[in-house]
Structure formats: C-alpha cells, structure tokens
Amino acid sequence: MEEIRSAYLDETLDTVRAADFLQYRSKDLPTWCPGCGYFGIVDALYRACRELDLKQENIVTVSGIGCSGRTPIFINTYGFHTLHGRSIPVATGLKLAREDLTVFAVAGDGDALGIGGGHLPHVARKNINITFLLFDNSIYGLTKGQSSSTTPHEMKTSSHPAGNPDTPLNPIRLALAYGASFVARGYAGDPQGLKDIIKNGILYQGFSFIQILTPCVTFDKENRTWKNLKENVVDLTPRMEEKNMETAMRLAQNEPHGVGIFFWDKKRPHYQEILRNLNKGN
C-alpha cells in the first residue's frame, strides 16, 4: 500500500512540477492540515517568484516557529527555520550581509506580534529591504489553538474556554504606526490577488509588510473560517491613495477586512541606501 501511495505521489508530483511555477515548490509535501489557508499563501508566493523570474538560488525564506514556521521546508529556495519570533532579525542580518538576495521573512500572528513583537518597530523604522509575510490565522495553530495577539475579544479558545478577555491588535494599524512604508493585506483564499500584492512587496525597495488573512481549519471552527473570511473581505484597490496615512488608518478598521495595498511610500530610501548616502559625506 505504501509503495502504491509513494508511486502515485511521485507521478502526481512530476506532473504538477511540469507547471513552471511549481519549480519553487520543494519535494517535501506540506504537513499542514488539509484545507489550511497556508497552502493558498505558498501558492501565491510560488507564482509571484515565477512571474518576477527570480532564481531559486537567489531567494532565502526565513521563518520562526509555528505551523507557519514550516514554510521554508516547502519552498524550493534557501531557508532558515529559526527560533520563535526571530524571523525578522535573522532576515535583517542576512539582507545586510547579502544585499543581492531576495529575502522573505515569514511569521504567524503569535510569532510576529507576541513573542517577536519587539522586532517589528525596528525593521519598519530602519526600512530594511525585506518582504515580511504575516500568516495571520488569529490563533496559535501549532500548539493547538491558544489565543494569540489577534484573537477576537470573547472568542473561545483552548487557553480561554470562557472567551478571550483581551483586545486584539490590528496589525495594519500597528505597521503604519511603526512607520512601515509598504503596508498591505492579502487573503489566502485569493492566491491570484495575493500573488499581485506579494509581487509589489518584492519589487518595493524597502520594508514591505503584508498581513495575510488565513483560516486555521483545525482549531478555529467559528471565527476565521473560510466562509466568514470570504463574506468579510472587500477589495480596497480602487480606494487607495499613495502615501495617505489617514485613509490607510481608517480603512484598516476590523470589518469588513479590506484587502489591498494600504500605504506605499515610493520615495523613502531603504536602509542600505541611507548608509551609502551617509558614507558619501565622509
């Protein structure tokens, strides 16, 4: 039985790999639960890399810990699976040492906004030229459904069976307040739209912050489900004005979830450009 399964998988994988964007997919089949939104996210990432014709050997994907932390294993690029909350500092060091590489930092909501929350203001204010993908399922998935920094107030979770007493963070408003100069939100159920957002994030010369709404189908059967997400996502593209903080802050309200680019400062130099300019004067 195992032999038949493995032969079937090999054959299926070979067929699927023929589709050229799947060159960015690793041989390891994702261990995520069937129906997890993370499949949609990596699909969008593969497509973005393909459309920009990035070479696998010039990409590094850096993750922390969590179900989202497994991402570098399923992408056929270089990668680091680091410590809980530490994808941003590792990605920062990497980008400073190797400016030629395309560097993705990925993190879950617990990883990015809980234990690793102290890194976000600094990567944003320094404007390090990396693309940050926040896999926001509003829950700690890997450790079985505890409340995270984005879990809605009163939602029942494994750590708060009577309901979450805390007020959730709004990641878009947070990134804007920290001074991130490319701030966007995508949705795992729309890999094509998400691919376009990620492409813009990669092309952006500076820190790009992309929150991705995605369901944890195993530990959240009520809140961020596929159905609820689909019904609560609206495309913001027509209402976006470049570099208007006030509009961005207003549109970042919780419901319905606006999807698109909230803020985009095309003129701000990234960290290494600032360093070069400073050094020119000496």
Kindly state the DSSP code that residue 95 receives in the 8-state scheme: H
H helix intervals, the chain: 2-17, 38-51, 87-97, 109, 120-126, 171-177, 191-203, 226-231, 245-251, 271-280
Q: How far is the CB of 65 from ligand SF4 (least distance, A)?
A: 12
Query: Which amino acid is residue 212, in one-letter code?
Result: I
Q: How far is the CB of 112 from ligand SF4 (least distance, A)?
A: 14
List the interface residues with ligand TPP, window 41-70 (CB under 6 A).
65-68
Q: How far is the CB of 244 from ligand TPP (least distance, A)?
A: 30
Q: How far is the CB of 239 from ligand TPP (least distance, A)?
A: 29
For 125, how many CA atoms within 13 A lie in the half-sphere containing its CB?
A: 8
Contact between 210 and ligand SF4 (CB under 6 A)? no
Query: Which amino acid is residue 240, in one-letter code?
Result: M
Report which of 281, 233, 238 is spatially closest to residue 261, judged by C-alpha positions.
Answer: 238
Report which of 149, 162, 211, 161 is spatially closest to residue 183, judged by C-alpha positions.
Answer: 211
Kindly state the DSSP code that residue 160 receives in the 8-state scheme: -
Q: Which is nearer to ligand TPP, 224 or 270 (CB)?
A: 224
x/- contact string, 123-152, with ligand SF4 (CB under 6 A)?
--------------x---xx----------
Residue 258 contact among Mg ion, ligand SF4, ligand TPP, none, beta carbon within 5 to 8 Å by kind: none
Residue 84 contact among ligand TPP, ligand SF4, Mg ion, none, beta carbon within 5 to 8 Å by kind: ligand TPP
Contact between 171 and Mg ion (CB under 5 A)? no
